[in-house]
Structure 1
Amino acid sequence: MKKLIKYTLATIIAVGLINCTGDFEDINTDPNGISNESLTQMNNHIGGSFTPMFLNVFNVTPAWNYQLQQNLMGDVFSGYLTPPTPFAGNVNNMTYSLVDGWNGFPWADAYGSVMPFVLDIKNAVEVGGDEAGVKFVHLANIIRVSAMHRVSDIYGPIRYSKFDDFETTGEYDSQEVAYTTFFNELGAAIDGLKQFENDAQFIPFDMSALNGDIAMWRKYANSLRLRLAMRVVNVNPTLSKTQGELALNSDAGFLETTDMVINTGFEHPISVLSNSWGDTRMSAEMESILTGFNDGRIERYFTPSADPSLPGEYKGIRMGIEIEAKGQYLNHASVGSLVDEETMQWMTAAEVWFLRAEAALRGWSNAGNAKSNYQSGVTASFTQHGVSGVDSYLSDNTSTPADFVDALNPINNIAYPSDVKIAYDNSGTNEDQLEQIITQKWIAMFPDGQEAWSEFRRTGYPKIYPVVVNNSGGKIDTDIQVRRINFVSNEVNTNGANVATAVGYLNGPDNGGTRLWWDIAGSNF
């Protein structure tokens, strides 16, 4: 919190000084005070703009904002968490009646607290005239891509490449154009930051566990490039392989033992939602997979049910069922100690190992061995959460996800539709091996439901249970599930002509049943 206050005060001081007139500065400069020149030398005119970006890739406070940006969208559609609360009379996102008043928050957070501050940094660097300031532009672009690929993976077309020009700021990119721009910006940052690897000027402004280490930021950017390269593999295999191999062969390297975690200074919003408000609980899929696998991470991820009829059980809730009142399922398993700290996870080293495992499965150069990378990913996740027993876990070739049994209503019972196992099977088909990789990646990325939802839509793994109640009016297929979120009402009302153009970039109507550009039905190979 002290760090946040320091940055905020620096921003206020900088803005105040910029707004002063020239005469005021000439007449009233305090020789013992902080001058514009001193502020510029300390880069505080730039550094203060990083704070809102760090705090809004995932909005960290207030918790209800995160609930609408992430929890009632990616967290539920991914099969991570399910609310026991029957919001709006149980006619809500969980039953596929998408709520416009909720679903605009990812857009508002990005365009209110990320995109404008990247532009501020670019303008400040340009006005300052210091060529070394370009490092701040590269760093800002890395954060911008971190935020905006998530926004694009929710809605599809976004306002991005033309945002910085007032004349074109309202115009949308197709998702294909947006992703091409993401790759260009990440590539420029990875290359451009190399000369600054020993530069310490970002240290005071870096709220991440990378602590201002530019070499580590290059690793993160390169890891992000691999994530996005894999995202487009089914729609454009050539682009995917080109970008993936650029990452795999880059001298920047990858996150291998360090996780990209932001030190926010605020209580984790999921802790508030789960432990204070009782608004989110373990999902049915988490119960099926973690209990079926006898996965030791369950003790970090969740707290056993408080219901005395379920002593010591990790009991989840199936999404999209009839819930009459909050008290029905309230005492099911809540979220565990992994959200006890004032941090926010952007990317884990485990995820990167699983990306490399899939790259190896696809035969990309310098990707290594699929099985070895898979085992490194599982090991990294166990290490991250301080869980023992990884060797015996990786050798388990019999355990499979458990069928789900609803503790209160048997109509919600369902068999898990796969016998995916833990021990890596090189003899399996490519689809079999990919299911193993993505299932373990899904476990390891928790609680980032947005990324897990994107990977489920891309690959179909792991298997997510269909809803029992579908209130979409035919817009969303129960079996195909939610594919995107419709454009936000504020954009439709104030930027209608450009939204109409954006709708033309889609492969169907502007609703939750239309697939994104990279979301291709059928085989993954």
Structure 2
Amino acid sequence: MKTNNIKKSLICFSLLALVGCTDNFDEVNSNPDGFTYEETTQDFNHIKGPFKNMFENVMVNTPGWKYQVAIDLSGNTWGGYTTAPGFDGSNNLSYALSDNWNLWGWEAIYAQVMSNFLKVERESKGKYDDFYALATIIKVQTLHKAADSWGPIVYSKLGTTDAAIGYDSQEEAYGLMFKDLDFAVTELTKRIDAGEPSAFTNTDRSTYKGDYTKWVRYANSLRLRLAMRIVKANPALAKAEAEKAISQKFGVMTVASDSFIVNKDVAQHPLKVAAYEYNDSRMSADMESIMGGYNDPRMNVYFKTSEQFPGEYKGIRTGGNLGDKSLHIKFSNFGKIIDEDKQVVWLNTAEVYFLRAEGALRGWNMGGDAETFYKAGITASFTQLSTGGAADYIADNVKTAKDYVDPVAPFNSGLAVNNITVAWDNAASNEVKLQKIITQKWIANFPDGMEAWAEHRRTGYPKLLPILNNQSAGAITTEYGVRRINFVSTEKDGNPEGLKTGIAKLGGPDNGGTRTWWDVNAPNF
């Protein structure tokens, strides 16, 4: 990790400063070459400009060091995807949450994405609502990650000039997200029905190339994800929103080209910096145990075999006793999806099929049955990765996760915990069927660790190896793991009165062991 890049002071960091930054929109967006504001508005450039920064920071695409501390050393590790060789000590991997790391996720969300959203909103709302609708979908994509990570967040008060910017509870934020998606879907559908050409073609950094119909499908699919997230907290609303997503005239993602993928303009995936430049990220023991046990054909797309143990995929146990970095640095690094591809996926078609599978399992009207959607999800993942062998993989009712063996530090070894086969079994309990669905969704969503972490908290699946080195001083249990991130120091310093409203709505102490609203400690069925 390049610690010299992590600095304490930032322009427009706290929410109070962020509001101030949006007040001088004209000044900030003035062209140094002398163009007037009127000239910069030609061809909607004053609206299109902020989208670039939004696309680059929803998943903290750039710079790589920021992605490392905001996502790889939090969601990616807690979700079971990656771990860092040599990171013993007191840090996120050992449940001693590091504010110096975690605050950068908050910074990317508010000082980068949402500050630019406010610029688009200011110039487009009520005037060019197609742009506003597109920005609003990105807003929901961004802020649901914030709510999933912290619980209460700033949503309804975003962009206000209040002395203290108040927080919404996680429940309130989710309600606002559903309303925002209502607006965006209605607005874009109206324009599609009218045969209006897209004004977003040259601005869209995704593979959609400004196609409004694909954006509506993405918004519907995002609604389905959010609906499933709240299934334990508000089952009736979850069902209603999920069925609304399916029944909307353009529906949800069904083919590979529907996946929302950002075409990166930089030379590498952000995880590649942590993995190849810093040598701070490698395959996790859980990925080795589960994918290795299944002999999953996607393994060679996700990872490379170990330099130290040729021909073998070797992962590292998160929260283990790792010792010197050199012991595990030659374990499996990341493969084509990270080393070569220049894309970041926000939501893929495979995930949508798995969401529909779970919805059908719960008796919702998803347009089909759980088994069909489960198999379609696996097939969609294989198709997206151009990997053969899906049919044989889907039919396998023998292979299960394998025990994890650490050949250089045997005390980190552990018995397999996610013991299910891939093949669908209609005679199995709903709980076993759900474990299969979530395990396959977990595999298909790599490397979106924030989503993996959220779904693991919601369902308990896939079952992951417990950490061996818990340094949370009792705040976070080894059994249940990290449930949320502490509120960040920049809010404590820059918006203290507003932060008090967030703490009041949290419903527990401000630490990583407190469950958020949708994270209900109750059975899945």
TM (norm. structure 2) is 0.91
Note the C-alpha offset of 1:417.
2.0
Identity %: 43
Note the C-alpha offset of 1:36.
5.3
What is the DSSP-based 3-state SS (H/G/I as helix, E as strand, rest coil) of the residue aligned with 1:251?
coil
Partner of 1:212 in structure 2? Answer: 210
Kept in 2: contact 1:83–1:280 (CA 8 A): yes
Establish whether residue 153 from structure 1 lines up as the match of residue 151 from structure 2: no
Partner of 2:471 in structure 1? Answer: 471
Q: Distance in 2 between matches of 1:318 and 1:389?
A: 29
Partner of 2:106 in structure 1? Answer: 107
Match of 1:195 among 176, 190, 194: 190
Letter matched to residue 204 of structure 2: D
Kept in 1: contact 2:218–2:260 (CA 8 A): yes
Kept in 1: contact 2:307–2:331 (CA 8 A): yes
1:116-151 alpha-carbon deviations (Å, 9 max, x no partner)? 11111111125xx74xx0111111010011111101
Match of 1:173 among 165, 168, 173: 168
- Which 5+ residue runs of structure 1 have no aligned equivalent? 1-13, 21-27, 29-33
TM (norm. structure 1) is 0.91
Partner of 2:411 in structure 1? Answer: 411
Match of 2:135 among 134, 137, 140: 140
Match of 1:228 among 219, 226, 251: 226
Kept in 1: contact 2:403–2:415 (CA 8 A): yes
Establish whether residue 509 from structure 1 lines up as the match of residue 509 from structure 2: yes
Note the C-alpha offset of 1:316.
0.5
RMSD (Å), alpha carbons? 1.7
Note the C-alpha offset of 1:191.
1.3
After superposition, the Cα gap between the structure-2 partners of 1:168 and 1:237, relative to the gap in structure 1 and judged at 3 Å, is: farther
What is the DSSP-based 3-state SS (H/G/I as helix, E as strand, rest coil) of the residue aligned with 2:262?
strand
Partner of 1:392 in structure 2? Answer: 392
1:280-319 alpha-carbon deviations (Å, 9 max, x no partner)? 0010100001110010000000000000xx2210000001
Partner of 1:265 in structure 2? Answer: 265
Partner of 2:318 in structure 1? Answer: 319
Partner of 1:371 in structure 2? Answer: 371
After superposition, the Cα gap between the structure-2 partners of 1:99 and 1:397, relative to the gap in structure 1 and judged at 3 Å, is: same
Matching of residues 44-443 of structure 1 within 5 Å:
44-86=45-87, 90-126=89-125, 130=127, 133-167=128-162, 170-197=165-192, 198-257=196-255, 258=257, 259-266=259-266, 267-307=268-308, 310-339=309-338, 340-443=340-443
What is the DSSP-based 3-state SS (H/G/I as helix, E as strand, rest coil) of the residue aligned with 1:265?
coil
Kept in 2: contact 1:84–1:330 (CA 8 A): yes
Kept in 2: contact 1:163–1:169 (CA 8 A): no
Note the C-alpha offset of 1:462.
0.1
Partner of 1:485 in structure 2? Answer: 485
1:330-363 alpha-carbon deviations (Å, 9 max, x no partner)? 0000011112222111111100110011111111
Kept in 2: contact 1:162–1:168 (CA 8 A): no
Kept in 1: contact 2:109–2:142 (CA 8 A): yes
Letter matched to residue 187 of structure 1: D
Partner of 1:5 in structure 2? Answer: none
Q: Distance in 2 between matches of 1:465 and 1:149?
A: 27
Letter matched to residue 297 of structure 2: G
After superposition, the Cα gap between the structure-2 partners of 1:312 and 1:19, relative to the gap in structure 1 and judged at 3 Å, is: closer
Q: Distance in 1 between matches of 2:164 and 2:399?
A: 52
Kept in 1: contact 2:233–2:518 (CA 8 A): yes
What is the DSSP-based 3-state SS (H/G/I as helix, E as strand, rest coil) of the residue aligned with 1:393?
helix
Kept in 1: contact 2:60–2:67 (CA 8 A): yes
Partner of 1:10 in structure 2? Answer: none
Note the C-alpha offset of 1:227.
0.1
Letter matched to residue 314 of structure 1: Y
Kept in 2: contact 1:17–1:36 (CA 8 A): no
Structure 1 stretch displaced more, 167-176 or 274-283: 167-176
Note the C-alpha offset of 1:522.
2.5
Letter matched to residue 335 of structure 1: F
Note the C-alpha offset of 1:209.
0.7
What is the DSSP-based 3-state SS (H/G/I as helix, E as strand, rest coil) of the residue aligned with 2:261?
strand
Letter matched to residue 351 of structure 1: E
Q: Distance in 1 between matches of 2:109 and 2:159?
A: 14
What is the DSSP-based 3-state SS (H/G/I as helix, E as strand, rest coil) of the residue aligned with 1:261?
strand
Note the C-alpha offset of 1:17.
10
Note the C-alpha offset of 1:494.
2.3
Note the C-alpha offset of 1:418.
3.4
Kept in 2: contact 1:292–1:401 (CA 8 A): yes
Note the C-alpha offset of 1:168.
6.9
Aligned length: 492
After superposition, the Cα gap between the structure-2 partners of 1:409 and 1:51, relative to the gap in structure 1 and judged at 3 Å, is: same
1:236-288 alpha-carbon deviations (Å, 9 max, x no partner)? 10110111111111112112222211012111111121122211001010000
Structure 1 stretch displaced more, 115-124 or 34-43: 34-43
Note the C-alpha offset of 1:187.
1.4
Note the C-alpha offset of 1:231.
0.2
Note the C-alpha offset of 1:85.
3.0
Partner of 2:15 in structure 1? Answer: none
What is the DSSP-based 3-state SS (H/G/I as helix, E as strand, rest coil) of the residue aligned with 1:344?
strand
Note the C-alpha offset of 1:16.
6.6
Q: Distance in 1 between matches of 2:80 and 2:409?
A: 19
After superposition, the Cα gap between the structure-2 partners of 1:291 and 1:236, relative to the gap in structure 1 and judged at 3 Å, is: same
Q: Distance in 1 between matches of 2:382 and 2:409?
A: 34
Larger Rg: 1
Q: Distance in 2 between matches of 1:272 and 1:19?
A: 33
Q: Distance in 2 between matches of 1:301 and 1:501?
A: 42
Letter matched to residue 421 of structure 2: K
1:60-98 alpha-carbon deviations (Å, 9 max, x no partner)? 221100001110000000000011032xx6211101111
Structure 1 stretch displaced more, 107-116 or 271-280: 271-280
Note the C-alpha offset of 1:163.
0.9
